[in-house]
Each structure stands twice: as structure tokens, then as C-alpha cells.
Amino acid sequence: MIQDRYAIKAQKEEINGHLMYKKLAKRDKKNSELLSKIASEELKHYYTLKKITQKDVKPNKFKLFLFNILEYLFGITFVLKLMEKSENKAQAKYKFLENKYPEIKSLLEEEEKHEDELIKLINEERLKYVGSIVLGMNDALVELTGTLTGFTFAMQNNKLISLAGLITGIAAALSMAASEYLSTKTENNEKNPFLASIYTGIAYIITVALIILPFFFPINPYISLAITLVIGVAIIAVFTYYISVVQDLSFRKRFTNMVSISMGVAILSFLIGLLARSILGIQV
């Protein structure tokens, strides 16, 4: 029966949640007590569902492994938000099961309580500086994809393009970090100006390193440029997904806006590069 299949799926989600919350509780000392409490409740829910299914269900080891990797890369907030989405899916299954199994009602109430507690729990330092990270990454993507596109069509030499791009990127990163420091200092908010500048500068430099990388290989500069643009779109996709999860924003709208701006600047720079090469008669 479909109710039984839903119960088994919900049971698997509960054991996954129990193990993940338990692991997060060991890592996050600040919120350890709350996370341990939720882990215990998830285990209790597992046994409640086991009485219905009369089966032991093994956790999804790949999902747990993936969540662990994501927690290291993107922080506890990102993982908790993803788990919250899983909780929402579980709640839909519980509502389907509620009519047949009365004991599901209390389980559903506790699941809804988890969501409220998790929202209050989230207080990760890096979230204060998301704006600084976005500033550094966006500027690097828009400026460097445009700059590299212009350099490619003007110079057509990977060594020169990579050298010019690297110098431009490092100088721009230092400039952006300094600007963010001064801007944050004048805003008089809870953000530390020094940390804000560090987040902006690091985000800028990492983005620069990734999009310049193809030009360090001895291949056709136009192929390098194509790879750079693909990397740029991939960076936008990954970071936009992160922002959309932790801040509950629309992924599609934000992604479309960022890609349109970056690619628009690249196309404009391509035209400027061709024009400069033609007018100045540069042959490299």
C-alpha cells in the first residue's frame, strides 16, 4: 500500500536526520544542546514509525556523506536549511499517513516545532558577511570576464592575457577589499570592517584564480575564453544556490540576473577588444 511506502520513506528520513543532527551537535558546541535534543526526537520518531512498518530501515549513507561534505564547504546553516527542506517533505508524508495512524499527529507537531527551532538557531558568523562575499565574487566575475574577453580579442596570446589578467585581478581585489573596509566602517553596524574586507578580498581572489586558470595552459586563447565563461557560469550557479538556500531566495531569478550581467559585459568587452585591435592596428 502507498501508506506503507510513505511510512518507510519517512522512517529513513528520521534515521538520516538523527545521525546528522547528532554529528552536528558534536561540531557546533554553541548549539550542541538543541541539536542533541532534536537528534533524540528524530530517533524517537524513527521508532514510532518502526511500530507501523515493523521493519528496520538503514540510513542513506551517501546522503549523510554528502551532507558532511556540504557542511565543511558551506557551513552548518546551509546543511540545516537543506535538512529543513527534507523535514518539509517528511511533513507532507505524515499528513498523508495521519488519517490511518493516529500516533502520527504528535510526530507531525514535533516536526513543525523543529522547523521553528532551527530558524531561531541559525546564527553563523559567515552569514553576516554574505554581502561582502557577494560583492567580491560579483565584481570579480563581471570585471574579469569582461577584461579577459577584451584581452583575448585584442592580444590573442595566452601568456600575455594571463599576465595582464592576473595583475588586473590582484590590483582590483586589493582595491575592493580596501573599499569594503571603508564602507563597512562608515555603516556603523555589527560587522567587523576588517573581516568584511577580508571576505571581499578572498572571494575576489578565488574567483579571479578560477577564471584566469584556463589561460595558463598552452591552448587556443578562444578555447581558454570559452572555458573561462563556463567556469564563470558554474561559479554563479554554485554561489547562487548557496544564497538561495540560506536566505530562502529564488534561485532562478538571481541566477538569471547574474549570468545576464556577466555575459552582457563579456559581449560588450568582446566588441571593444575588436574595435581597439582594428583602430590601433595592434598585432600580437
pTM, entire model: 0.71
- Chain segment 175-215, per-residue pLDDT in tens: 888 888 888 878 766 778 888 888 888 888 998 899 899 99
**Over pLDDT 70: what percentage of the chain?**
80
Q: Is 144 exposed, middle or buried (0-12, 13-18, 19+ CB in 10 A)?
A: buried
Grade residue 59 by pLDDT with cuts at 50, 70 and 90.
confident
Whether residue 142 contacts residue 261, with contact meaning beta carbons closer than 8 Å, is answered with yes
Q: What percent of the chain has pLDDT over 90?
A: 4
Assign 154 a pLDDT band (cuts: 50, 70, 90). confident
- The H-assigned helical ranges of 75-157 are 76-97, 104-121, 125-128, 130-155
Whether 112 shows a pLDDT value over 60: the answer reads yes
**pLDDT tens-digit series, residues 272-281:** 766 766 776 6
More confident residue, 116 or 54: 54
pLDDT band at 127 (very low <50, low <70, confident <90, very high): low
Confidence of residue 91 (pLDDT cuts 50, 70, 90): low
**Encoded amino acid at 140, one letter:** A
SS3 for 127? helix
Residues 260-270: tens digit of each pLDDT: 877 777 777 76
Q: Please report the pLDDT score of residue 214 as a whole number.
A: 92
Tally DSSP H helices, then E strands, for the chain. Answer: 11, 0
Tens digit of each residue's pLDDT (9 = 90 or more) over 215-229: 998 889 889 988 988
What mean pLDDT, rounded, does the chain reach?
Answer: 79
- Residue 90 pLDDT > 70: no
According to the model, what pLDDT value does residue 193 have?
A: 83
More confident residue, 120 or 71: 71
Domain ranges of the chain: 2-123, 126-280
CATH number of 2-123: 1.20.1260
Query: In 123-185, at which residue ranges do the beta strands (DSSP E only) sit?
Result: none
Return the amino acid letter for 165: G
| Range with lowest mean pLDDT among 62-71, 108-117, 139-148, 181-190 | 108-117
pLDDT for the residue 119 = 60
**Residue 11 — left, alpha, or beta (φ > 0 → left; ψ -120 to 50 → alpha)?**
alpha
